[in-house]
């Protein structure tokens, strides 16, 4: 683990735990909204909408799906960071094994890579 003082580590862990709970709530709320929407669509099967209504509905659904996927991806990152905490290697870059800058971890507590490795990673993904 990096050489953070206990107070900083406690704050970072609290931030991760809090964000995990927020993401779980957001994902659950989206799931409940999907269920409610499906129930409403089942009732309103006689409702006839024009092509613009259908396109608008599909666009909203696609956007909502993308938001939920982003939340799921972030939740996976947060849980991975908490696992690194438990394993004792939080704050160590998963690629080069060097310490991640404290400023980066303060801004992004779930960061798994140092800035140099993150930049290289993003260049490969794009």
Residue 113 has what DSSP assignment?
S
Nearest Cα to Cα of residue 113 among 90, 85, 83: 90
d(C-alpha 14, C-alpha 81), whole Å: 12
Global confidence as pTM: 0.78
What is the tens place of the pLDDT at every residue in 58-108? Answer: 777 788 899 999 999 999 999 999 999 999 999 999 999 999 999 999 999
Please spell the DSSP secondary structure of 63-88, one letter per residue: HHHHHHHHHHHHHHHHHHHHHHHHHT
């Amino acid at each position: 683990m990096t050489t953070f003082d206990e107070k900083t580590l406690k704050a970072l862990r609290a931030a991760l735990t809090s964000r995990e709970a927020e993401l779980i709530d957001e994902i659950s709320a989206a799931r409940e909204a999907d269920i409610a929407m499906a129930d409403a669509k089942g009732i309103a099967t006689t409702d006839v909408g024009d092509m613009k209504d259908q396109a608008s509905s599909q666009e909203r659904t696609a956007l909502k799906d993308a938001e939920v996927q982003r939340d799921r991806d972030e939740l996976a990152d947060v849980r991975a960071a908490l696992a690194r905490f438990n394993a004792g290697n939080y704050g160590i870059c998963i690629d080069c094994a060097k310490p991640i800058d404290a400023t980066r971890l303060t801004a992004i507590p779930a960061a798994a890579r140092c800035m140099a490795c993150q930049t290289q990673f993003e260049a490969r993904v794009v």
